[in-house]
Amino acid sequence: MLEFDELYKAYGPNRVLEGVSFRVRPGSMFGFCGSNGAGKTTTMRIAMGLARADAGEVRWQGRPLDQAVRRRIGYMPEERGLYPKMKVGEQVAYFARLHGLDRAAARRAADEWVEVLGLGPRRGDAVEKLSLGNQQRVQLAAALVSRPEVLILDEPFSGLDPIGVDSLAEALLGQVRQGVPVVFSSHQLDLVERLCDSVGILARGRMVATGTVDELRQREAGQLLRVVVPDAAPGWASGLPGVRVVSEQAGDTVLELKADTDDQAVLAAALTTGRVAHFAWQQPTLVELFREAVAATTPQEVAA
């Protein structure tokens, strides 16, 4: 189990993390979401020993992370970084050696990953000659080459084209299948929703929601019902008991029903307006959950 336990961090008066906790099971993927400046990168940097937490710690298999444990973690920093003039193959092999592989094993592993990530023909080129997308692949190879026990990736998908996204996603799922816990941060919430077993939403230094996407959905207070009634007059649903109109646009209406409200009564009311083109409970997307979760903390923050 990879555990982030009550991390606190302040830079001067600026409190960046205020008790961030979450756990990632081996063989699962954890999507780390949050607005810009929420503290995702700081959390990951603390895990990698690049920043020091004021309080709290990160543990892997019950052991606080130290230099030796961190060598078994594959890390991709938010600011990509490689030696620009070093050749792709040698560079990947170098990072493998820094993580404890011997010379022969490092070269073999580097060749293997360079091949897997489609960089075979560019093996002998200096990194600076590669396109950004390919540099990103080298970066990933550097993170994966030492067969890490844990992967911590800061925005691994940013800057990739859709094909690059797919191949990276495939590589990460492959790692998860081998039992590696993967933590990655991303703003591409559809991707997080598709790939991740569990999700954490960070807002202003606090985890405002963690759990599987389904758990987050269930935790949502009201239930959303989408009704499309093209012929209805504006405000057709505003008088219904136990119903709040979330949005209404040319008959495309999203309603929030109180727990004991009968959805069939709403359907009956809709039918009285004319044709009903769509009537379904709406699964909130992660984007909506995210907005909801982040929005909920904002007033509190203003007050604080």
Ranges of beta strands (E only) in the chain are 2-11, 14-24, 29-34, 55-60, 63-64, 73-76, 150-153, 182-185, 198-203, 206-211, 223-228, 243-249, 252-257, 278-281
Rounded CA gap, 187 and 201, in Å? Answer: 11
Q: Are 221 and 192 in contact (CB under 8 A)?
A: no
Binding residues for other proteins restricted to 84-103, rule: CB under 8 A: 84-86, 94-95, 97-102
Least distance to other proteins, CB of residue 114, Å: 15
d(CA 25, CA 42): 21
Residue placing its CB nearer to other proteins in the complex, 25 or 103: 103
In the complex, minimum distance from the CB of residue 73 to other proteins, in angstroms, rounded to a whole number: 8
Q: Which of residues 172-191 bind other proteins (CB under 8 A)?
A: none
| String marking each residue 52-71 x if it binds other proteins according to CB under 8 A | x--------------xx-xx
The smaller minimum CB distance to other proteins, of residues 54 and 166, is found at 54
Task: Yes or no: say if 198 and 210 are a contact pair by the CB < 8 Å rule.
Answer: yes
Ordered DSSP codes for 115-145: HHTT-GGGTTSBGGGS-HHHHHHHHHHHHHT
**DSSP secondary structure letter of residue 274:** S
Is 83 a binding residue for other proteins by CB under 8 A? The answer is yes
Helix (H, G, I), strand (E, B), or coil: what is residue 89? Answer: helix
Contacts of 239 (CB under 8 A, 6+ apart): none
Cβ nearer to other proteins, comparing 110 with 192: 110
- The nearest distance, CB 94 to other proteins, in angstroms, is 6
49 part of the interface to other proteins, by CB under 8 A: yes
Q: Of 128, 130, 140, 203, whose CA–CA distance to 169 is shortest?
A: 140
Which of residues 54 and 170 has its CB atom nearest to other proteins in the complex? 54
Contact yes or no for 41/185 (Cβ under 8 A): yes
Is the Cβ of residue 45 or residue 122 nearer to other proteins in the bound state? 45
Nearer to other proteins (CB atom), residue 75 or residue 290: 75
* Segment near other proteins (CB under 8 A); pick from 72-80, 169-177, 226-234, 277-285: 72-80
Residue 77 binds other proteins, judged by CB under 8 A: yes
Considering the complex, state which of residue 49 and residue 284 has its C-beta at the smaller distance from other proteins: 49
Candidates 4, 30, 75, 113; binder of other proteins (CB under 8 A) is: 75
Distance, in Å, from the CA atom of 216 to the CA atom of 235, rounded to the nearest integer, reads 30
Q: Is 80 a residue that touches other proteins (CB under 8 A)?
A: yes
Among 143, 149, 141, 293, smallest CA distance to 213 is for 293
Tell which residue, 10, 19, 48, 8, has the closest CA to residue 297.
19
Q: Which of 105, 165, 265, 269 binds other proteins (CB under 8 A)?
A: 105
Minimum CB–partner distance for residue 108 and other proteins (Å): 6
Closest to 133 measured CA to CA, from 110, 165, 111, 109: 165
122-151 footprint of other proteins as x/- string (CB under 8 A): --------------------x---xx----
- The residue from 15, 59, 108, 244 that contacts other proteins (CB under 8 A) is 108
Q: Where along the sequence are the contacts to other proteins (CB under 8 A)?
A: 48-52, 67-68, 70-73, 75, 77, 79-86, 94-95, 97-102, 105, 108-109, 142, 146-147
